Amino acid sequence: MKVFTVVGARPQFIKASVLSRAFLSSNIEEVLVHTGQHYDKDMSDVFFSELSIPSPSYNLAVGGGTHAQNTGRMLEKLEELMVVEKPDCVLVYGDTDSTLAGALAAAKLHIPIAHIEAGLRSFNRRMPEEINRVLTDHMSSLLFSPTEDAKRNLLAEGVSSEKIFVVGDVMYDATVFYSNRATKPSWVDQAGLEIDKFVLCTIHRAENTDSEDRMKNIFSGLADSCIPVILPMHPRTRKKLDSLSILLPDIVRIVNPVSYLEMNWLEANCKLIATDSGGVQKEAYFHKKFCITMREETEWVELVDKGVNCLVGDSSDLIRSAINSSGFYDFSEFFYGRGDAGIKIVDVLKAYI
């Protein structure tokens, strides 16, 4: 079997590391294609090297344009490669422009599509990610859902249950596999950070970074944290901050982007996490940390229902209150499988492709 894998963004590199290992142990040939959607070295190359992911068979170097420009360029180049490689299956992850382009190219060539993280919904069609994931799900031949909630979303949209497989979350597989390899960033000791006495924060979604008001509100809420806030700065966020008249509070410490293994260390050793990232919300749960989500909605509704994730939007009052609150949080439930999602996905591919 030949699997054609499309990746382009940081979370997809991490997920691909799980399946690439599983493919190797199952003697499945993988053609790994990096679209270049995350083209910054700190957001791309470092993940391939530290996660021991095989170097991409192809790097399309597409990135930096609008959603339409990126998707169109990727679609054209991916189609050319699929015609040459003649894969038995095209594998796509998540909800990026790379995901949609890979699925579209495969669908036009009548190649079976396998979608990892199928069925997630924010129910906000203004999010580009929501459009990408809905369209990809409805083009796919095999839908690998991380949770029962995700499966219910697909069934509600009329997707055949025969195409849906609840396998758990490959991100949890990765966390389990790399947990003993977590790396303390070199600047931690110099910064005087104490274990369990800092907030880990990430901000990158366009709905926040493209709005001066939302960014000011978020930093106003973070300013009243009683402990340091560590913010690894996404390149796009840094660019936006430079263009806006936003005075960063002293309690917020901006650091350069961190690798996946460094992020694991920070997540495991912080007190709590504040983020607008979908993946980091899950990683917070994996590391048993309370999460403050600076969005109006989340795809991971089970975490909100469980009380370990708090939606605060851009409300400075809600952010301030959530950061400085304390309580008991129950992380005992296995929402995302047992760390064997990759194995289950390979078993299904071998049976159905």
For the segment 19-28, what is each residue's pLDDT rounded down to a tens digit?
999 999 999 9
Task: For 78-87, write each residue's pLDDT tens digit.
Answer: 999 999 999 9
Calpha distance 353→349 (Å, rounded): 5
* 98 vs 328, residue with greater confidence: 98
CA 24 to chain centre: 23
Calpha distance 35→70 (Å, rounded): 9
Asked if 205 and 275 count as a contact pair (C-beta separation under 8 A), the reply is: no
Query: Is pLDDT of 45 > 80?
Result: no
Please report, as a single letter, which amino acid is at residue 241: L
> Nearest 10 degrees: CA dihedral of 210, 213, 216, 222?
-90
Calpha distance 163→257 (Å, rounded): 38
pLDDT at residue number 43: 52
Average pLDDT over residues 134-163: 98
Average pLDDT over residues 25-51: 78
pLDDT at residue number 268: 97
* 3-class DSSP state of 308: coil
**Least confident span in 29-33, 41-45, 154-158, 307-311:** 41-45
* Strand runs labelled E in 85-233: 89-93, 113-116, 142-145, 164-166, 199-202, 229-232
pLDDT at residue number 38: 60
Task: For 290-331, write each residue's pLDDT tens digit.
Answer: 999 999 999 999 999 999 999 999 999 999 999 998 788 999
pLDDT at residue number 106: 98
Query: Is pLDDT of 240 > 80?
Result: no
Calpha distance 106→119 (Å, rounded): 19
User: Kind and range of the H or E element at 350?
Assistant: helix 341-352
Q: In what order do the strands lie in the sheet with 113-116?
A: 58-59, 29-34, 2-7, 89-93, 113-116, 142-145, 164-166
Write down how long the chain is.
353
The partner residues of 8 in beta bridges, in order of sequence, read: none
Average pLDDT over residues 102-107: 98
* 3-class DSSP state of 285: helix
pLDDT at residue number 100: 97
Task: Kindly provide the b/e burial profile for residues 265-293, where b requires at least 16 CB atoms within 10 angstroms of the residue's own CB.
Answer: bbbbbbbbbbbbbbbbbbbbbbbebbbbb
Query: Is pLDDT of 89 > 80?
Result: yes
Asked if 216 and 222 count as a contact pair (C-beta separation under 8 A), the reply is: no
Asked if 203 and 218 count as a contact pair (C-beta separation under 8 A), the reply is: yes
Query: Is pLDDT of 41 > 80?
Result: no
pLDDT at residue number 138: 98
CA 25 to chain centre: 25
Kindly state the percentage of the chain with pLDDT values over 70. Answer: 97
Q: In what order do the strands lie in the sheet with 309-311?
A: 252-255, 229-232, 199-202, 272-275, 290-293, 309-311
Query: Is pLDDT of 40 > 70?
Result: no
Q: What pTM, to 2 d.p., does this model score? A: 0.91
Average pLDDT over residues 112-131: 95
Asked if 281 and 310 count as a contact pair (C-beta separation under 8 A), the reply is: no
Calpha distance 275→292 (Å, rounded): 6
Average pLDDT over residues 9-35: 93
Average pLDDT over residues 165-180: 95
* 3-class DSSP state of 187: coil
Note if 287 is an active site residue: no
- Pick from 4, 205, 194, 209: which is nearest to 109 by CA? 4
Phi, psi of 91 (to 5 degrees): -110, 125
Residue with token string 């460094």: 262
Query: Any alpha helices (H) in the chain, and if so which ranges?
Result: 10-25, 45-50, 67-85, 97-108, 128-139, 148-156, 170-178, 206-209, 212-222, 235-243, 260-269, 278-286, 301-306, 316-323, 341-352
**34, 115, 204, 287: the active-site residue:** 204
Calpha distance 353→351 (Å, rounded): 6
